[in-house]
Chains A and B, each alone.
Chain A
Amino acid sequence: MALSALSAFGGTAVEPLKVAYLYHFTHFIGWPDLPPGAPFVIAVIGDPVLAEALRALERDERRVENRPIRIRTIETRETESGLQCDDCQLLFVGAAAQDRIDRILDAVAGRAVLLVGDSPGLARRGVAINSFLKADILGEGERLRFEMNPAALAGRGLKVSSQLYEVARVLP
């Protein structure tokens, strides 16, 4: 392993980067039949730090499909009594909730909800987009990458741009 200069670009904290990725994902995906006048809801379960970082989208008055973004935090324990995510368009499953993934999948089965995660193996367990850190080929740090599971998108009515598949690691 060669030692390289630690990049003076210094890198970006991972949470703002994940926020930017999530925001960009919404531009490559189409949600059918969004209720008129309703906000675009991004829900987060199992990652309060990311939930807080996502509130920058609200403060910055960012919009998806010309709707204001709203961030909703879901407590992990809510999976015990039945997860309510009827108004969600995107649900982020954090590491602290990965053990509850089966209950989460049941709660949003067949609905137009994009499931996103960041824990190893989560895409194979049914999450549509799962991010991970990949070491730079020249050894100058790490970059955020993501894998996609087409089977996890099937049956949800979401329209996914082929551009997203081009930059993702697609599970067979």
Chain B
Amino acid sequence: MPNHSKHEIPCPGPLRRAGSLLPCLLLAVPCLFGPARAADLLDLPFDDLLQVEVASAGKREARIRDIPASVTIVTREEIARYGYATLEDLLRNVPGFFILDNTEERFIGNRGTVGGGVQFLVNGIAQHPSRQKGLTVPEIARLNIPVESIDRIEVIRGPMSVIYGNNAFLGVVNIVTNALDISGSRLSVSAGSRDSGQAFARLGGRSREGFLVLNAGGWRTDGLDGAYTDMMSPAQLAALEPGMHRDLDGDLWQRRGSLDLSAGWRGLTTDLRYSDMDYGIYAFTPAFDKGNGLRLKTLHAALGYAYRFSDTLGLRLTGIHSQETYDAYRLDFLVAWLDGSQKQHSRRWELELNLHWQPLERLNALFGYRWRRLDHLDNRARARPFVVLDDATADFQQQDLFTEIDYALVERLRLVGGARLTRLPASYRFSRYKHLEQTLTETEVAVSDRNLLTGRVGALWSLDSSQVLKLIWGNAAQDVDKFRISDPERIETLELNYVRTRPTWTLSASLFENRTSNIVRTIQTLNPVTGDYVVAFDNSGRWRTQGLELIAEARPWPALNLSLSATWQRTDDLRSALEPGYSPSLLLKLKADYRRGPFTYATYAHFVDRLESDWDFVSGPVEGVVERLGESVPAYWNLGLNLRWEPASKGVFAALNVSNLLDAEIRYPASELTDFARGLIGPGRIVTATLGYAF
């Protein structure tokens, strides 16, 4: 067996000389492990040598070609070159993605629609389910990952429910924060406009048998500051009460902290992630006093065990527990004397078993089983004298069986097919206790079809070693948080993707069509008592999105990188002539960077086309009166610059980043929460300076 003592290495000199307690603590972890040295390989028993993994760097192009989907990979090197301040900033610059803000939530849009839809994984661990029956918890916590901790992101577009279950609707974003071969221990601090700043530390070390990575980060900003006169209609302004704030300045502050630990020893791995966000939100009306506060805490704990019976048979067992608490405190809207809160909570327990089998060189098979339990789903609202209620969703379980087969029919043609059967609960049960009325209502909604089947098939035809043509069909499901609707939303995608990778350039082109059904939408129903039409929900919505994506990257010289992407899409509501909201026709992304000596000069820009808000029915005695929540907001360009000084891969580095350099007016269309007729004004020019040290 390997001798651990042989892999201990002395602490690096510069830090040993620093002599303070902090550097010693920082070094404790790396020195426990230390990197495996090449010379040690010579003394390994041959059986152990056979298990040594080859570094994966440089496999980016191969991954883009081999994964049966349209794929974008963002590397640590690229993140550093462009100096994105947050994960949100990074995703805004991913081809085909756009992000909307309603102050409480960040809606990630992709291929024509927003909200839910994208399954986030951190180090392969699926994050807390974003859609929970009877809850309205935002999904923003999944973005609370310090961008400095990210070693690599893989964005996979299209329905991926076969592998990842419900909610991998429009794609998957896999965020890797534990790749020590990409980046080791380091520290950084940033400060910028709007009193923004962040601090980040990574400690990590590895040996041949284990690794440990700890990422800790904090981020703060004063947030958006738009004036209501620039966002509201004259009617909305006229309705403001005396004492209400006249702008958002000071109301949308944010404080974010996160800690993630990833460790492994032999076949065992553990991933712990804790996210704590405290931030101000806008809710329906301007605030009177200190504004509304929202605290969102998320905890993930995963334990995995992988065992390889041989090169052709392996097993992975993963257990996950996660929980999320939502605490909207110091409610401050509607009337000056309002005092209230809203607390929501949910927990997940999950066990997944994956069996990987390669009976033939050209045949790979995955068989999986997942058991999931969701419990402690509760929602407690306190806003006397208007509402005091306790909602609760009874615990429920789901079980999934899934498989995916990958078969090379001939040398140049691979076929991939998979299916997933999800056994839904027989019914969902809810209770609501209204304290003011002292009434208890219990509701049970039966699930019409408990067997939910999703599938995916694809053919990958390698025209030569650098070109591949992918034809993919797949469908997926997405849970609905409305408790009176049991059926999940569905999507079906047909896509043709062409990829060509050359040493100095890469091209990807996709033609796609999404057909989305069971979409929850607002409808009108007649109240026979009052004679008025009132707003309710059903799930009869059907959309069709057709689009084209082009992504081109080039490295004409080793020091110069260029990239361009364009996404055209059109979404139609197949149930009405109403154009769906939040669906830009055109998205453009441009990037260029040049390295000379220790300096990297980078510029990037993204264009988001005009956006409409969603539709809403107007309650009252007339049927079918609909209007947008707000006006359309104009298209915009967001241009960024980044200057990075990094004389060596280890040691001091510094960066200066300017986002929205031209201070362009960015507006997000009205939503239920931020119903500004002219849209919410987004961030202006932000200047951020960063200083760091890589060990």
For B269, the closest partner residue in chain A by CB is A5
For B49, the closest partner residue in chain A by CB is A20
Q: Is B66 an interface residue (CB 8 A)?
A: yes
Comparing B309-317, B438-446, B531-539, the segment that makes contact with chain A is B309-317
* A10 and B55 contact, CB distance less than 8 A: yes
Comparing A76-84, A89-97, A129-137, A148-156, the segment that makes contact with chain B is A129-137
Q: Is A34 an interface residue (CB 8 A)?
A: no
B293 smallest CB distance to A (angstroms)? 35
* A2 and B56 contact, CB distance less than 8 A: no
* B156 and A3 contact, CB distance less than 8 A: yes
Tell me the B172-223 residues at the A interface (CB within 8 Å). 172, 174, 176, 178-182, 204, 206, 208, 210-211, 213
- Give the complex CA separation of A160 and B400 in angstroms: 49
Partner of A17, one of B52, B154, B172, B416: B52
Partner of A137, one of B151, B176, B208, B313: B313
B424 smallest CB distance to A (angstroms)? 23
* A7 and B53 contact, CB distance less than 8 A: yes
- Give the complex CA separation of A48 and B69 in angstroms: 37
For A12, the closest partner residue in chain B by CB is B52
For A163, the closest partner residue in chain B by CB is B46
B301 smallest CB distance to A (angstroms)? 15
B366 surroundings in chain A (CB, below 8 A)? 2
- Give the complex CA separation of A3 and B156 in angstroms: 10
A28 surroundings in chain B (CB, below 8 A)? 46
**Chain A 94-130 interface 0/1 with B at a Cβ cutoff of 8 Å (1 = within):** 0000000000000000000000000000000000000
* B54 and A12 contact, CB distance less than 8 A: yes
- Give the complex CA separation of A144 and B54 in angstroms: 7
A168 smallest CB distance to B (angstroms)? 10
* A3 and B172 contact, CB distance less than 8 A: yes
Partner of B67, one of A1, A8, A10, A12: A1
In the complex, which of the residues A19, A24, A57, A133 has the most CB atoms of chain B within 10 Å of its own CB atom? A24
- Give the complex CA separation of A1 and B68 in angstroms: 8
For B180, the closest partner residue in chain A by CB is A10
Tell me the A53-92 residues at the B interface (CB within 8 Å). 56-57, 60, 62
A138 surroundings in chain B (CB, below 8 A)? 306, 308, 314, 316, 354, 356
Q: Is A140 an interface residue (CB 8 A)?
A: yes
- Give the complex CA separation of A28 and B47 in angstroms: 13
Q: Is A157 an interface residue (CB 8 A)?
A: no
- Give the complex CA separation of A3 and B125 in angstroms: 10
- Give the complex CA separation of A57 and B41 in angstroms: 11
A13 surroundings in chain B (CB, below 8 A)? 38, 54-55
A5-B52 in contact given A11-B181, A20-B42, A145-B311 (Cβ < 8 Å):
no
A53 smallest CB distance to B (angstroms)? 8
B356 surroundings in chain A (CB, below 8 A)? 137-139
For A59, the closest partner residue in chain B by CB is B39
Partner of B54, one of A1, A2, A23, A133: A133
For A14, the closest partner residue in chain B by CB is B54
A141-B67 in contact given A8-B180, A8-B211 (Cβ < 8 Å):
no
For B458, the closest partner residue in chain A by CB is A1
- Give the complex CA separation of A134 and B123 in angstroms: 22
* A10 and B179 contact, CB distance less than 8 A: yes
* A6 and B311 contact, CB distance less than 8 A: no
* B41 and A12 contact, CB distance less than 8 A: yes
- Give the complex CA separation of A167 and B51 in angstroms: 12
For A27, the closest partner residue in chain B by CB is B46
A105 smallest CB distance to B (angstroms)? 26
**Chain B 251-286 interface 0/1 with A at a Cβ cutoff of 8 Å (1 = within):** 000000000001010000101000000000000000
B50 smallest CB distance to A (angstroms)? 6
A10 surroundings in chain B (CB, below 8 A)? 35, 53, 55, 179-182, 206, 211
Q: Is B152 an interface residue (CB 8 A)?
A: yes
A71 smallest CB distance to B (angstroms)? 14
State which size class the interface on B falls in.
35 or more
* B51 and A143 contact, CB distance less than 8 A: yes
* A9 and B264 contact, CB distance less than 8 A: yes
For A138, the closest partner residue in chain B by CB is B314
A18 smallest CB distance to B (angstroms)? 10
B35 surroundings in chain A (CB, below 8 A)? 10
- Give the complex CA separation of A120 and B66 in angstroms: 19
- Give the complex CA separation of A136 and B51 in angstroms: 9
For B56, the closest partner residue in chain A by CB is A141
A57 surroundings in chain B (CB, below 8 A)? 42
Q: Is B687 an interface residue (CB 8 A)?
A: no
- Give the complex CA separation of A9 and B36 in angstroms: 9
Partner of A12, one of B38, B172, B316: B38
* A9 and B53 contact, CB distance less than 8 A: yes
Q: Is A4 an interface residue (CB 8 A)?
A: yes
A17-B54 in contact given A6-B151, A10-B179, A60-B42 (Cβ < 8 Å):
yes
Tell me the B570-610 residues at the A interface (CB within 8 Å). none
For A133, the closest partner residue in chain B by CB is B54
* A137 and B314 contact, CB distance less than 8 A: yes
* A143 and B52 contact, CB distance less than 8 A: yes
**Chain B 380-416 interface 0/1 with A at a Cβ cutoff of 8 Å (1 = within):** 0000000000000000000000001010000000001
* A16 and B41 contact, CB distance less than 8 A: yes
Q: Is B552 an interface residue (CB 8 A)?
A: no
Q: Is B163 an interface residue (CB 8 A)?
A: yes
Tell me the B39-78 residues at the A interface (CB within 8 Å). 39, 41-42, 44, 46-47, 49-56, 66-68
* A140 and B53 contact, CB distance less than 8 A: yes
Q: Is B2 an interface residue (CB 8 A)?
A: no
* B124 and A4 contact, CB distance less than 8 A: yes
- Give the complex CA separation of A2 and B156 in angstroms: 11
Q: Is B86 an interface residue (CB 8 A)?
A: no
**Chain B 116-144 interface 0/1 with A at a Cβ cutoff of 8 Å (1 = within):** 00000101110000000000000000000
A141-B53 in contact given A1-B406, A3-B121 (Cβ < 8 Å):
yes
- Give the complex CA separation of A16 and B172 in angstroms: 35
A8-B178 in contact given A16-B41, A56-B39 (Cβ < 8 Å):
yes
A6-B179 in contact given A138-B316, A143-B52 (Cβ < 8 Å):
yes
B271 surroundings in chain A (CB, below 8 A)? 5
A22 smallest CB distance to B (angstroms)? 10
A9 surroundings in chain B (CB, below 8 A)? 53, 180, 206, 208, 210-211, 264
Q: Is B546 an interface residue (CB 8 A)?
A: no
Partner of A144, one of B52, B310, B312, B358: B52
A14-B50 in contact given A19-B41, A20-B44, A139-B356 (Cβ < 8 Å):
no
For B309, the closest partner residue in chain A by CB is A137
B366 smallest CB distance to A (angstroms)? 6
State the A residues within 8 Å of B (CB).
Answer: 1-14, 16-17, 19-21, 23-24, 27-28, 56-57, 60, 62, 133-134, 136-145, 163, 167
Given contacts A12-B38, A137-B312, could you give 6 more A-B pairs where the C-beta distance is less than 8 Å?
Answer: A5-B123, A5-B271, A9-B211, A10-B53, A137-B358, A144-B54
Query: Across chains A and B, which 10 residue pairs bring their CB atoms closest together, nearest first?
Result: A10-B181, A16-B38, A11-B55, A5-B124, A20-B41, A137-B314, A5-B123, A8-B178, A8-B211, A11-B53
Q: List 26 A-B contacts (CB under 8 A).
A: A2-B163, A3-B124, A4-B124, A5-B262, A5-B269, A6-B123, A6-B179, A8-B204, A8-B206, A9-B53, A10-B180, A12-B53, A12-B54, A13-B55, A16-B38, A19-B42, A20-B38, A20-B41, A24-B49, A137-B314, A137-B356, A138-B354, A142-B54, A142-B56, A143-B51, A145-B311
